[in-house]
Structure 1
């Protein structure tokens, strides 16, 4: 009897999409050059005999399933616990991605040190640094503890042996792209290697109820390197982001099976490591006497309402094509706001250079900052200073109408807590009315009716209701 020759198939190394013939571009993730020839996975074969499920695995109505809330263990880093939803869940695998040098290893070493100080045994496996290098960084950040074990391993089998020997209650692997398995083809970082290493770590986490933190590299466009299957295997995906020119860092949860995905953790890189920023409100506000071209808005980062100062500068242009330079805001959004200001508010800006920037290096992407950008530009053009106690939130339409934004009550509450007295929003209806309102506040402040607000000296009882 002739044996059946195994047929071949073609599979995408990024997302796992299969095809009967070779194509240059994956039909699922649209990546080029990722489809390679593999042995066909036939699935159900002839003669396959189904097995009856055991008593504890019989399908039953979902209403009969008991709800068991997963217990959490705080990491000791409050901002990281906020992103995770309260702490680490036993058996959870957490993938942390970010650009090189943003501070992923520093954050995880701090998490490991605080967990060790609480009496938990931690194994930190660094496949990119030697143990001596990790020790030097731990000395600088004050992360030395007897319950913190470190190892430098790039082989998956040896890594599993280290887990068996140390028996940790928390495992950190830095990073998944530098660990390889002899049971899989390719070098470390190859999609098949990443898939094998991640699957093994996930299986160990589930079998031993061991929380595992995994560091993942990112590509040039900022997405997580390796196959997309990596993101589906883990329970939580966190992205660590920040500008190298500033000390502020944000951690966002892109996926979380045990908590919300709209929380943001704030950190600050210091000479001694990484520090939490429970209240980052003062980082994005200017100080001193109010000057023209400055307006404060209240932006949302996850569930957090953060006041951000927007600065604008208007200058006569020396070139036929005036310059439009922005930093921290969307350039196309600013171009639209300039057109609305000129058409609906009568401000002549077409022959002027316009510069718009945010304070503190924060980036604003939501349209709720439109009104503050418009008021800052109008303030720079009219050379009147908007008082510190004025905040503006609203989306501008092309007709000059000010539209309401999401979670306005939370923005108002945060502005009131920080001492902002006047809140300009959709209640002004149209942009000219908002400009008149702000000019009125500026004129009263200039006449000495109300000076600049000292946010440090005013208490909540001194702030009137909006």
Structure 2
């Protein structure tokens, strides 16, 4: 039975508050402490073709190169080995990432839910799922349960790993790609929405033009800022290109706007005080 606690009485391992830095401007968006936190859940959404999978694989590959001791796991419920080989041609560094391919083949000897759970419980620092909805559907069909129950199974597993209930006792971070409807709305229950730490959105400047500029922003973020845009391009080979100059310029403009807004508020407060004194 759960007990009421005071946070001043709760202690954590200091390592829990360290971050994984991928060495790109994306670090500044991932958290206010710069980098990807441990034991959190980030949901990634965006229209088809905007680059959700590529951005996440690039992030994980960069973290793996910077932290050789960190264990990365990519769970693919949408691509098989042949599909993935296309990514390797463009981004050779992805070849070093451990991948668990999940396919709905309805083989009674292979239960995908048991496979996912046993592999995840080995203990990984970062686990990416592509996509949550597809994996949820595979579990629902193979286990003969409702989508709601399949979601509960996955969320329970994720929360257990967040709290280091695995063989390595590490607080696992999950990067979960999720599908959206044709109107761009999030696919999933309110429970799923509330369970995530941050919602990363990949968008087009012009939603009707797939060739328009692309950017990353957070619409929900318990560990960082919302509304900040980081533009990127997938046209180069080997690495995702992040427009750092544009990002720094936008940050400077926002800082100036915030400073001016503060000065205007201070001036308004001083005027109100002076006006009220004159009335007295």
Same fold (TM over 0.5): yes
1:276 to 203, 218, 242: 242
| Superposition map of 1:220-259 within 5 A | 220-242=182-204, 243=206, 244-246=209-211, 248-259=213-224
Superposition pairs for residues 86-101 of structure 1, below 5 Å? 86-101=34-49
3-state SS of 1:125 partner: strand
**C-alpha separation between the residues in 2 aligned to 1:139 and 1:279?**
28
Q: TM-score, with normalisation over the residues of structure 2? A: 0.71
| 2:57/2:94 contact within 8 Å kept | no
Question: CA 1:193 to 1:132, structure 2 compared with 1: closer, same or farther past 3 Å?
Answer: same
Partner residue in 2 for 1:196: 153
Q: Does 1:106 align with 2:68?
A: no
Given that 1:247 and 1:269 are in contact with CA atoms closer than 8 Å, whether structure 2 keeps it comes out as: no
Unmatched runs of 5 consecutive residues or more in structure 1: 1-50, 283-297, 307-404, 411-466
- SS, match of residue 102 in structure 2: coil
User: Relative to total residues, which structure has the larger helix share, 1 or 2?
Assistant: 2
Deviations 1:315-353 (A, max 9, x none): xxxxxxxxxxxxxxxxxxxxxxxxxxxxxxxxxxxxxxx
- Residue 124 (structure 1) shift: 0.9
Q: Secondary structure at the match of 2:90?
A: helix
* Structure 2 Cα separation of the partners of residues 135 and 122 of structure 1: 18
Tell me what 1:261 maps to: 226
Contact 1:99–1:218 under 8 Å retained in 2 = yes
1:73 aligns with 2:19: yes
CA distances 1:6-36 after superposition (whole Å, capped 9, x unpaired): xxxxxxxxxxxxxxxxxxxxxxxxxxxxxxx
Which has a greater percent of strand? 1
Deviations 1:363-409 (A, max 9, x none): xxxxxxxxxxxxxxxxxxxxxxxxxxxxxxxxxxxxxxxxxx95374
For the aligned residue pairs, the C-alpha RMSD in angstroms reads 3.1
Unaligned runs of 5+ in 2: 104-111, 165-169, 262-280
In structure 2, which of residues 117, 122, 126 is the aligned counterpart of residue 170 of structure 1?
126
Equivalent pair of 2:117/2:157 in contact (CA under 8 Å): no
- Give the TM-score normalised by structure 1: 0.45
Once the two structures are TM-superposed, the CA of residue 103 in structure 1 deviates from its matched residue by 0.2
Q: CA 1:121/1:139 → structure 2, altered by over 3 Å: closer, same or farther?
A: farther
Q: Paired residue for 1:121?
A: 71
SS at the partner of 2:232? Answer: strand
**1:95 and 1:237 in contact (8 A); partners too:** yes
Contact 1:239/1:254 (<8 A) preserved: yes
Larger radius of gyration: 1
C-alpha offsets along residues 217-263 of structure 1, whole Å, 9 cap, x if unaligned? 01122121121221111111111111444353211112222222243
